[in-house]
Amino acid sequence: MTQVKSLADLRKIKDDLQGKMGLREKSNSPESLVQIRVAMATCGIASGAKQVMEFFMEELDKRNIQAVVTQTGCMGYCFAEPTVEITLPGQAPVVYGYVDTAKADSIIEKYIKNGELVEGIIPVNYETIQK
Amino acid sequence: MRDMAMHIMDIAQNSIYANATAITIEVIENKDDDSYVVIVDDNGGGMSREMVSKVTDPYVTTRTTRKTGLGIPLLKLNAERTGGNFHIHSEEGKGTNVKAEFVFTHPDRLPAGDIAGIIVLLIAANPGIEFKYQHVTNKGKYALCTAEINETLEGVSISEPSVVRFLKEMIKENQQQILIS
Ligand SMILES: Nc1ncnc2c1ncn2[C@@H]1O[C@H](COP(=O)(O)OP(=O)(O)OP(=O)(O)O)[C@@H](O)[C@H]1O
Ligand code: FES
Ligand SMILES: [Mg+2]
């Protein structure tokens, strides 16, 4: 039987990360990171929010962009699910609708990397957004 | 919802919204009883008795702050469609326990889906919440708890991409060990 991974193997990963950590620490204050919130209410999940959230987590890491990816409940845009709210450091949040992995890719390349707006922004009244 | 994983994400999102700081997700597959049980338990704000009696009914629209919820009614419907049943226990200020029991061999019983992926997303996106995941089948049991993981990590964030990737593989491999069906 092959050896199944256990928490003992996690220690190695932890040690690696701690090795790199010193270099990173300075840029790690949350305001300096890109914040991404994926709407994960019933309608979001049903329309593929999980794949979109995984895509952001994996691709941002691959492309060396430090970001915080979290989930939120209903943002009130059932018609445009999956929806994703992106907050660039020091800027107002922007909500994108109908986000699939292709759209997520151009959001990363254009908006997150270069600040260029991508099609599909939902005009938002922030009063209505729930956490 | 196409699979158990999507339902789990949905019900756990309710727990997060209710400000839970501890969430337990349990999957119990039992061929002898012909049952597939999914339980989500939290220590969030809970619901009044009146609210509990309303949430399983999608047609009740007395809510004023938001439209009728779908998450709980859908899970109930999918469980009952297999001849299974659905229970929700909640106490204000204490927490909520949602239990959906499917009939294992019923043709309409949803497939498992990517449960490992969902668990890992929940953990990564909510580092402040203590998650427990337990999966029991006729072949054995696998249990994971983020408190223990955080102890191992000694201050390194559980949301670090390489940690998240590792956790997903670890869960998948362990699920494989106890896979029945
Ligand atoms: N774990 C919980 N703790 C406290 N309240 C809950 C919990 N689960 C559900 N509720 C209450 O029940 C309501 C209905 O839940 P349900 O999942 O059916 O719909 P929703 O979350 O409101 O919307 P949707 O799931 O369709 O996005 C919630 O809005 C919330 O008030
Ligand atoms: S219920 Fe669909 S976005 Fe909130
Ligand atoms: Mg819900």
**Predicted-complex ipTM score:** 0.90
A74 lines ligand 2 (CB under 6 A): yes
Which residue's C-alpha comes closest to atom 17 of ligand 1? B71
**How many angstroms separate the alpha carbon of residue B156 from the centre of ligand 2?**
34
Give me Rg for the CA atoms of chain A.
17
> What's residue B107's pLDDT?
97
Q: Which residues of B30-44 are buried (b: 16+ CB within 10 A; e: fewer)?
A: eeeeebbbbbbbbbb
State residue A86 phi and psi, 5-degree precision: -115, 130
> Is some CB atom of chain B closer than 8 A to the CB atom of A53?
yes
Mutate to test the interface with B, among A2, A10, A21, A131 (most CBs of B within 10 A): A10
pLDDT (tens digit, 9 = 90+) per residue, A62-93? 999 999 999 998 888 888 999 999 999 999 99
Determine if the pTM surpasses 0.90. yes
In whole angstroms, give the CA distance from residue A83 to residue A97.
4
Q: Are B12 and B122 in contact (CB under 8 A)?
A: yes
Q: Is B70 in contact with A43 (Cβ distance < 8 A)?
A: yes
Q: Which residue has the higher pLDDT, A127 or A31?
A: A31
- Select from A14, A21, A69 the Cβ nearest to the Cβ of B125: A69
Percent of chain B whose pLDDT exceeds 90 = 86
User: Which band of pLDDT confidence, cut at 50, 70 and 90, is reported for residue B137?
Assistant: very high
* Residue A127: C-alpha distances to residues A71, A82, A97 (Å): 19, 20, 18
> What's residue A23's pLDDT?
56
Q: Give me the residue label for tokens 């890491």.
A: A61
Mutate to test the interface with A, among B8, B15, B17 (most CBs of A within 10 A): B17
Checking if the pLDDT of B65 tops 80, the result is no
CATH value of B4-178 in 3.90.25.10, 3.30.565.10, 3.30.1490.190, 3.30.2270.10: 3.30.565.10
3-state secondary structure of A71: strand
pLDDT (tens digit, 9 = 90+) per residue, B87-102? 999 999 999 999 999 9
- Two structure tokens written together for A86: 């992106």
Segments making up each domain of chain B, as ranges = 4-178
> What's residue B59's pLDDT?
62
Q: For the domain A33-122, what is the CATH superfamily, name and number?
A: Glutaredoxin (3.40.30.10)
Beta strands in A41-120 (DSSP E): 67-72, 84-87, 94-96
Indicate the Cα dihedral angle B9, B11, B14, B19, nearest 10°: -80
A51-65, A106-120, B55-69, B131-145: which range is least confident on average? B55-69
- In chain A, list all ranges with CATH 3.40.30.10: 33-122
